[in-house]
Structure 1
Amino acid sequence: MSFNWEAFAAAEPAFAQTVEDRFTKYTHHVLATLRKDGSPRTTGLEVRFLNGELWLGMMPRSVKALDLLRDPRFALQANPGAGAEMTDGDARITGRAIEVRDPQERAKYVGEVQPPSPDSFHLFRTELTEVVRTSLKDNAYLLLETWKPGEPLRRTKRA
């Protein structure tokens, strides 16, 4: 079962909006990919939510793009913000990155985002495998909200 951002938003609209708002609050986030030897690599990344998709755009032949071309699994961590107070909670998305080569799809993205090198960049759409938000409620407990494709949103309180 393949879930893009639009399918996630249809399944859990309020939660999807909360997570999208968390990611759009800041420009730069942290992407985790897998190196050739299987060890993790973390790098900075800008993300875009456009036309029902979560997009990852990257410079040509960047190591993170090469990682994803070899192994599409990724984890994306929202920027915690100034002081890392995390007043809006912590958001994480995991999934698979699928390179987009179709000229029409790329042209739509370029028209919206206007990347620095519109003719030379890697563009990936995402298939989601898990979305998690952790937040502090009433300074009393942590609330973990977890969504996986085909499952209802799960909420867990931790004191």
Structure 2
Amino acid sequence: MTKSTKVFFDIAINAKPAGRVTFKLFNETVPKTAENFRALCTGEKGKSALSGMPLTYKGSKFHRIIPGFMAQDFTRGDGRGGESIYGAKFADENFKIAHRGPVLSMANAGPNTNGSQFFICFQDTPWLDGKHTVFGKIESGEELLKKLESVGTPSGAPTATVEISDCGEINE
């Protein structure tokens, strides 16, 4: 049995520390997707051979926050871009886990277009089932999710700058 991996994000809102959220990754069900996210949290892969950009979430900003729905990160500042530790994109592993409760899911531009972009669902989002791969759940920090929601808008454009100031793996 594979031990579940735990990772964290330290979040800053308008350059002020807002708190930490921790995630439990579903290594057994979606090992490739979970490993991609874990390695992007640690930054251990260094720079991309494709773009020369660091393969890490540290310093990334959330470009889209919709209260009652989700928060999504980005690479280029507008929702475009992003690459995986495997190269530009990788295939969907499966859709076995439903979008129930606060979960982590891969953002994509259609089937088999996973890169580094992800989103955090704030609540059940069953209309995403079968389209986006769920690969983790919120372990702690739900109060921070409420702070994220508070700077979101119906259009998704945040009213504040929300940045991942630090991230990594939690070794227990």
Shorter-chain TM range is: under 0.3
TM-score by length of 2: 0.26
> Which of the two has greater strand per residue?
1
> Larger Cα Rg: Structure 1 or Structure 2?
1
Relative contact order: is structure 1 or structure 2 higher (C-alpha 8 Å, sep ≥ 6)? 2
Question: TM-score, normalised on structure 1?
Answer: 0.28
